[in-house]
Chains A and B, each alone.
Chain A
Amino acid sequence: MNHQSRIEAANWSFSWRLTESAGIMVYLADYRGRRVLWEGSLPYVTVDHQRSLLAVADDVLDAAADARGPWWVPLGARNLVDTVRVQQFRGGIELSATFAAGPYHYQQIWRFHDDGRLSPWLTIYGSGVHDQHTYHPHWRFDFDLDGADHDAVEHFEDGRWQRVAEEGWFPHSGEADEHGHVWRQVDFGSGAAINLRPHTWDDAELFAIRYHDGEWAPFSPRSQAGAQVYPAAYLGHEELDGHDVTLWYVAHVHFDQSFPYTAGPWIKVEGLG
C-alpha cells in the first residue's frame, strides 16, 4: 500500500504522505513552478459535548458533566479505511482518505485546481455518542509564498483589508471582500497572495503565528493541564510583518441531522500565474 508520493498535475507539483495523526500531509507544493506551501496538514479534530439530558436532581452528576473536556482520535494509518485515493477531475487532481473510529467518520480531501485554487476539506459524518456535540477541525498551513520570508497577513474587517501586526486569533465576523475572502497572506517581493475563504457554516477563525523551528504540527491539541490548547498555546506577541508565518484554520461545526457537512477553507493563489 503506497502512503506517499510526488504528484505533478494541473499546474501543481506536490508531495504527500499519510501521517500518524494529522491525516494526509501535503508538502513542498508548487504552483506553476513557484513555491506556495511548505507543509499543510490536519493535526486534529477535537469533539466537544454539550448536555443532552438534564440531571436536575443530581448535583454530583451535573458537576461531573460540566467538567468533561473534549476528546479526539488521530487521523492516520490506524483509522484509515482502505487507502489514500488519488483521482483526477476536470480541471484538477484530488487526494482523499476516509477515517473511521466508532461513531466518528471523516473524509479528508485535498483538491488542487489548475487555476490556482486549493481545497483542503473535511467531510464529517457519523452519529457521535449523542446529537449534542461540536467538531473542531484544525488545519495547519505553512505557506511559503515565493519563499519563507517577506510575508504579511491581512484580515478583512471594517470594510477593508487590514494588516495584522502581531500574532493573534482572528475570527470570521461575517465580513469578507467581494470574492468572499476573509484572510490573506501576501508576499512583499512578488505581490503574490494566498486568499482564504471559509465555508459559510464553519464559524471559522484563523490563528496567525510566527514560525519557529520545533513548533511543528503537534501530536496533540493538549499542551499541558490547565493551559491553552494548541495552537493558542503558541500565541505570543511576536511581530509578523516580513517574517515566516504559520496559519491555523479552525472550524467549529455543531452536529445536526443534516450531516454530512464539509468544512475547510477555499484557498486561492493569486499572482503566480
Chain B
Amino acid sequence: MKYEMLIHVKPGYFESMAEDERKAISAEYMALAEDPAARGGAQLQGTETVTTVRVRDGQTLTTDGPYADTKEVLAGFYVFEAENLDQAIELAARIPAARLDGAIEVRPVVER
C-alpha cells in the first residue's frame, strides 16, 4: 500500500539549527528519499511563497498565503510503499521533523 506523509513543522525549525546539525538532518531527509520504499516526495519552498487558488462561480480567486492559517506549516511530503500501517508509522517516525517538534500526517493513497 502506498502512504503519503505530509510533513508539518514549526516555521524556522530547520534554520534555527547549527550548520552541523542542519547538514546531518538534510542527509537524513535525502536518505529517506532514496529508501527503496520511497515512491516520490518533495521539499516545499517556504510559506512566503505560497499562493492559494479557489474557483467560485467560474471566477478564479487568488490569495496570498497557505490555505489553513496554522502555526505549523507544510514543509514537504513523501510517498512510501509499506505493507501495512505499522510499517508506514515506523517510516514516518524516521522523518526528522517528527522528533523536532513537528508532526507527520500519514494517509493511504487511493490506488488506481
Q: Are both chains from one complex?
A: no
